[in-house]
Chain A
């Protein structure tokens, strides 16, 4: 392949001092400064955390576990989410429920948010509408790694009511 060499135009002495360009830049800065002092409209920066950005509706945020009408967790510990999880961050221990129509429930349900890649496969795999990522919140910073392993009770705190037909339970 032939090489084409394009020679740049040499800068003259006046241009090499950059006085003109610096002046142009400062002009923009001062124009914006004056504008921001006079009006609050059209400000690019936000005063986080008081002012927050609105996330799109389908934003995948921190997980939550939904509840049934009677307040119990909808999850039946089928482990399809942890099976679907490409990062292997969901750890469930199943136990036997007293109500034999429910049979199985998660004794512990942990998600390691440091490992999670927020792909949303878990909520797609869930046959019970139990796990959702629509909390609209992103993971919080923490002092220890262990604090990023969110437990069942934390997941349930965010969780709301879901009346979707429970998967696996016959009518």
Chain B
């Protein structure tokens, strides 16, 4: 365990720790470009040079390991001067077109320049010009002039995506990133190269020129596109999601996410949303108010005296809170109903992140239904014979024509969904739901990692979560459950579902918790349940 001094501060670290990691441990910031914690270290940008008493010349902190009795200086006059020189060299042929560069505002080069250099260029000659708009792949564009040749993108393709597609050609100031002849940057993780590019050299075709980054409002979320549940950040401008980026979660996705999940947000904008809640008025379907639609749904379901003649289609797109409230409805007023668990059909999987199950919360829904004593059959085993009423949650079900026809044969069809799908068309009563961008909750991934979802955009007033409708339906059918905040429902999930025992809403930040990992309180709480506080957000 070497003990060393960094800027006079003593720190003891594991053998093999780099100076950079040791410095970050004691809160000293060493600037970097090419270093990325998820990739190998080429130490080629020279930005992290520090002075040590173990070497006659400055040492790259990202690469050099700590030694005993080492004395590191990150602020000595020589290092300050070295950094300035490194930045001047990197910026020598940089076009400094920040006003039209998409990276401006989140650019490491911009930040480091203002922090460590802030001196004008002394270049007397013309700058070297390189291609400004070079399409590397379906979603990535290269501006070779802005590139600082840190090779993060090359290393990402080699090491993480496991597909060697990028390389550097030419020498000196003519060096340039390009794809191998006949190849494209088209691996399913290519979008990550844009994220890790410290400058504006790699930009996403999808996001390019759409919005300036400082206008975006971000909220943390979970990617719902497969059962991996990568931790993500949704950037929103004017209440419209503009891009999705992966966030670091060492227990789920490290720093990465696949392009499928990254670009999925566009599908939610392309799909038409509903006009509003709808119900049968004098034999015709009309747009009604939310309250009226819920009442109509309760009447339709309540009209069926034998509960086994009611069919319920649940969805693995429920948050855990939704699932718990729906389970309450199915356990109480609708006890005995035939339950199916739908969801999207399986898709491509790989060894890196993508899972075959393209639904976000199958594990959570199954665990919660099991705890409630509910048995759900897969939607492929759908049998509507003898059913008199249907309650369908969700819009992303793998249903073919035959399946839809089967559903349509049921006389009363209550559909809760977010989009105008075939299910919406055939509903006798329709309740508009929220998408995952519009709600707060938790998802459980295939390994049982429970992660929190923040609300990214505001929903239309009539759109409510699945759980809200389940709660209201249960209330109208004589089983009062009352929650205001998803946090309160989650507390109830943690209390009643074995796997979730001991989990708290706060405890889920920042990386989430695994099922069964929570430490259950030594004694079960005996206090009566407190009335839910009247917070403005709805469950």
Contacts and interface: CB of A to CB of B under 8 A. Distances in A.
B162 interface: no
A73 to B, nearest CB: 13
A95 interface: yes
B396 to A, nearest CB: 31
A7 B129 CA distance: 85
A167 B209 contact: no
A160 to B, nearest CB: 22
A76 B96 CA distance: 14
Interface string B203-235: 000001110101100000000000000000000
Contacts of A104: 100, 209
A101 B212 CA distance: 20
A170 B209 contact: no
A168 B99 contact: yes
Given A83-B214, A96-B208, A96-B209, A78 B99 contact: yes
Contact of B95 (A78, A128, A170): A170
Nearest to B129: A170
B99 A128 contact: yes
B100 A168 contact: yes
A127 B133 CA distance: 22
Given A100-B131, A103-B133, A171-B126, A95 B96 contact: no
Interface residues of B, number: 19
A78 B96 contact: no
Interface in B311-359: none
Interface string B143-172: 001000000000000000000000000000
Interface in A52-110: 76-80, 83, 94-96, 100-101, 103-104
Given A78-B100, A94-B209, A100 B95 contact: no
A127 B97 CA distance: 10
Nearest to B96: A170
Contacts of B81: none
B285 interface: no
Contacts of B210: 94
Most chain A CB within 10 A, of B95, B209, B212, B215, is at: B209
A76 B100 contact: yes
A100 B133 contact: yes
Contacts of B215: 79, 83
Most chain A CB within 10 A, of B127, B133, B145, is at: B133
A104 B127 CA distance: 21
B445 to A, nearest CB: 37
Using C-beta atoms within 8 Å of the partner chain, give the interface range for chain A: 20 to 34
A83 B129 CA distance: 30
Contacts, number: 48
A8 interface: no
Contact of B99 (A76, A95, A100, A171): A76
B368 to A, nearest CB: 44
B204 to A, nearest CB: 13
Contacts of B145: 170
A171 B215 CA distance: 30
Contacts of A78: 99-100, 212
A46 interface: no
A169 B127 CA distance: 11
Contacts of B212: 78-79, 83
A80 B98 CA distance: 11
B133 A168 contact: no
A171 B133 CA distance: 18
B100 A80 contact: no
A167 B99 contact: yes
B54 interface: no
B266 interface: no
A80 B192 CA distance: 27
Contacts of A100: 131-133
A78 B127 CA distance: 22
B257 to A, nearest CB: 25
Contacts of A169: 95, 97
Contacts of B129: 170
Contacts of A168: 95-100
A81 to B, nearest CB: 11
B97 A170 contact: yes
Most chain B CB within 10 A, of A80, A103, A170, is at: A170
A78 B211 CA distance: 9
Nearest to B143: A103
Contacts of A170: 95-97, 127, 129, 145
Nearest to B94: A170
Contacts of B214: 83
B132 A77 contact: no
A83 B99 CA distance: 12
Interface of A: 76-80, 83, 94-96, 100-101, 103-104, 127-128, 167-171
The 10 A-B residue pairs with the shortest CB-CB distance in the complex, in nearest-first order: A78-B99, A94-B209, A168-B97, A100-B132, A100-B133, A104-B100, A168-B99, A170-B95, A76-B100, A127-B99
5 contacts: A80-B99, A96-B209, A104-B100, A127-B99, A171-B127
